[in-house]
Each structure stands twice: as C-alpha cells, then as structure tokens.
A = this chain, B = another copy of it.
Amino acid sequence: MPERLLVIGGDPGGMAAASQARRRRPDLEIVALEKGRWTSYSACGIPYVVGGTVSGLDQLIARSPPVFRDQFRIDARTEHEAMAIDLDARTVEVRDHAHQRTYRLGFDILHIGTGALPRRPDIPGMNLPFVRGVQTLEDADHLLQMVKAGGMEEVVVVGGGYIGLEMAEAFVMRGGHVTVVTNSPEVMATLDPDMGAMVSEGMRGERIEVRCGEAVIGFEDGIVHTEKGDLPADLVVLGLGVEPNSKLAAEAGVATGVRNAIAVDRRQRTPVDGVWAAGDCCESFHRIADRQVYVALGTVANKQGRVAGVNIGGGYATFPGVVGTAITKLCSLEVGRTGLTEREALAAGFQYEVVKVESTTRAGYYPGAAPITTKLLAEKRSGRLLGAQIVGREGAAKRIDVLATALTAGMTVEDITALDLSYAPPFSPVWDPVLIAARKAAERIEASR
C-alpha cells in the first residue's frame, strides 16, 4: 500500500505543499481536506471582487479540485472538514458536510494548513449574523450576494487592519457610506502612529469616515455601540486582524508557540514526527527580530507551503524567514512597510535613529509625480537599517522591496546611500526617495556618534 499524505486545508499553506510533494514523490497517495467549497484561492483578492474591481470570485481560484485530481493526482475533497486528529492512531476524523456523514482517514504524513480566523474579541453581540469576517471565499460570496441584493447603505468596519481597510474601499466603490472605527490612535497599527495618521487622513479624503481611539463596546441588529455613541450599520466587517486556526492541531497535542500558532522549525516540521504545518496557522521566523513571530500573509503561506512540500517529498528546503514586509493599496493611497516599527524595535531592545522624508515618485516636472513619505529606522552607532515605512500615491509603495532587500543583506543606511538605483524622469527623481531618506539617516547616525 502506498504511503498516504493527508493535507488539512485547501488554501495555499496546504495545497502548495501537496503540489510540491506530488512533484517529488509520484508514489505518494495524497488526500486534501477542505471544509469550504473552494480550493487554492487568493484570499487577498477578496476585497477587489467585493468592490467590483475584479469581475468574479472564480477569478481568484488558482486550481480547482478537478485540476488537482487530473493534473496532480491529488484527491482534493471540498466540504470535507477535519474534526479531530488522533496522533497515536495516525487518523483524522472527517465530516463530509455534503453527505452528512463522518469517517476516519489514516495518514502516514500529515500536513496542516488550516489558515487563520478573523479575531472576534469578546464583545456583546459579536456573533450576530450582520457581523462578518472576511477570510474565505464563502465570506466573500456572502458579501457579494448582499451587495447585489442592495440595501447596504451603512457599513461599519471595526478595526484598522489591512483587510478591514481594503473592505472599506470596496464598499465605498459600491456606493456605501463606510465608517472605520478603531480603538488604536490611528488605523493600520502595523505602522507607527505618525505614518498611520497619513493613512487615516488619506482615507478620509476618499469619503471614508475614520474614527480612531474609539472602542466598540457592543452590537445590536442594525447598530454598533461605541464608547462615544451609536452607529447605524447594515453590515459590520471585522478588521481586527486574524489569529491562527490552530485549535484542531493543539487539541491533538501538537505544540503551539507565539500567539497560539503551531510551532514549526525552519523546514516547517512541527515537534510531532511526520506532522508538518505551513501558512497562516503556524509561526514564522523573523530575520530582524531574530525570533519566531506570527504573520498571516498569502506570500508567506505560499512559500512555507512550498518548503513543507519539498521536505515532505524528500528534498531539502528551509523557510528563510520574514523581514516584516507588507504592502497595500487603499483607494489612491499606497502603503508599504518592512522590518521593525518603532514599537517593535523598542520591544526587541534596539536603540535607533528615525528620519522621515517627503519626496516625489517621479521627477517633479514629470506628469503624475506623486507624494511619497519614507520613514527609516537605523540602529544607533552601527547605522544598520532596522525598518522602513512608506506612505504615498501611485508608484510609492513597491519601493519598500529595495529596503526589504537591504534589510536582508544587513546593510547600514550608509550602504544604502551607495546603491545604484535606477533613474529616469517617469520613474524617479534623480535622487530616488529611498536614497534621500538613507542619506538623511546616515547623517543622523554620523551626528549621534
């Protein structure tokens, strides 16, 4: 009998692993369980479908179950939910929702890619049906039906995380009146507040009501109660971030670490022999903070899934870790970040210098030259880059990749000033904004020595 790889979770953390394992081990039997109706989709694309920028949910699906079956010989079972894992018996209890039956499936190798769940703090009314998370295509499908049915005039986004803000834009594009409420000082708490303030301000400029420093204290049908009053709401979208969907693994005895994410090593092995994990359900190594962290990003899930699959297939691969890079587009606003924020740098024990520089994305005289604000953190004395944040308009945010690369290479801000970055008037001022910021940071370090 062939060895069986059982994969729990039909999105990238699971399916990238299944595909890689298949390539390297044609002999494996591979079964993948997905509790929802869809496999291998881009959850990051959901706001663009709900907003109407992308024409349909089907466009987000990279590979459907028939593709997995026919091209990869992977038995991808949708609407099959893993209910419990028995690590001693090496079996998983599976609920087949379509046929209302439960069965057990044995495994030789288990790979867990159960993803994340929207955070739902313990607030009265949190589980009312008009309070929705946005995580799966089922969530997206539901919101899209609501949009099409009309009557979604008042939308309240609770929290200032990426997905919440992207959904705010989506509903504005659908003609709704959108209010974002967060008890943080500014939206997007993954930025420093001074940079977050630019995002709050930018969103206000796009007809989104942004209420910061205001805690939500409860929900009633049609109403969001905050500490400062009531807001009418046809729909509430949760944007409070996510937490690892690790309960199944934890209940089976698989160890969890940071923020209850499944503990994995750099090859994506859990501490249990023959059990692997990847994606939003597990930890990631942070190369700058030098420790395990929890990040839930599609790009990380894909990379970790691939690493797990290579290793399961008998190859050798390690997840290189993250440096904290993220990017988003909100209406005409672009936001990028990498490395450590001030708060994160302090928590990690670093002392640093900060600079913040205003520039333009193109030569000042070239049409479409847009504002870009670049903030850099450099370690005191050494001048090593610790983190960067960018807020700007068209053409601003992807520059964060240069800084992510510099961070990975351990460059100092002085090293960055020496980079031979490309210049032509349609793309950059003669001194790229990254270079201007690095120069200012290098001067600051020099002066403080």
Contact = CB atoms under 8 A, between A and B. Distances in A.
A68 interface: no
Contact of A327 (B42, B336, B406, B423): B423
Contact of A423 (B299, B321, B324, B395): B299
A226 interface: no
A60 B298 CA distance: 43
A166 B338 CA distance: 35
Interface string A286-305: 01000000000111001000
Contacts of A367: 53-54
Given A323-B420, A365-B59, A418-B320, A427 B53 contact: no
A409 B422 CA distance: 16
A400 interface: yes
Contacts of A327: 422-424, 427-428
B298 A430 contact: yes
Contacts of A299: 420-423, 430-431
A198 interface: no
Nearest to A337: B422
Contacts of A48: 365-366, 425-426
Contacts of A87: none
A432 B402 CA distance: 13
A320 B418 CA distance: 5
A50 to B, nearest CB: 13
Contact of A44 (B12, B401, B409, B423): B423
Given A363-B42, A365-B42, A366-B54, A422 B402 contact: no
A264 to B, nearest CB: 17
A322 B423 CA distance: 13
Q: Which of A397, A421, A422 has the most CB of B within 10 A?
A: A422
B366 A425 contact: no
A365 B48 CA distance: 10
A188 to B, nearest CB: 13
A367 B54 CA distance: 7
A53 B366 contact: yes
A177 interface: no
A73 interface: no
Interface residues of A, number: 60
Nearest to A58: B365
A45 B408 contact: no
A399 to B, nearest CB: 7
Given A367-B53, A420-B324, A406 B405 contact: yes
A398 interface: yes
Interface in A376-420: 395, 397-402, 404-406, 408-409, 411, 415, 417-420
A313 to B, nearest CB: 15
Contacts of A430: 12, 42, 44, 298-299, 302
A44 to B, nearest CB: 6
A422 B366 contact: no
B298 A422 contact: no
A224 interface: no
Contacts of A411: 409
Contacts of A320: 417-418, 420
A135 interface: no
Q: Which of A327, A400, A434 has the most CB of B within 10 A?
A: A327
Given A336-B422, A405-B406, A409-B411, 7 more contacts: A42-B430, A48-B426, A54-B366, A299-B431, A399-B401, A401-B421, A408-B419
Interface of A: 12, 42, 44-45, 48, 53-54, 59-60, 287, 297-299, 302, 320-329, 336, 338, 363, 365-367, 395, 397-402, 404-406, 408-409, 411, 415, 417-428, 430-432, 434
11 contacts: A44-B363, A45-B366, A297-B423, A299-B420, A325-B421, A327-B422, A328-B424, A400-B422, A401-B401, A405-B409, A408-B409
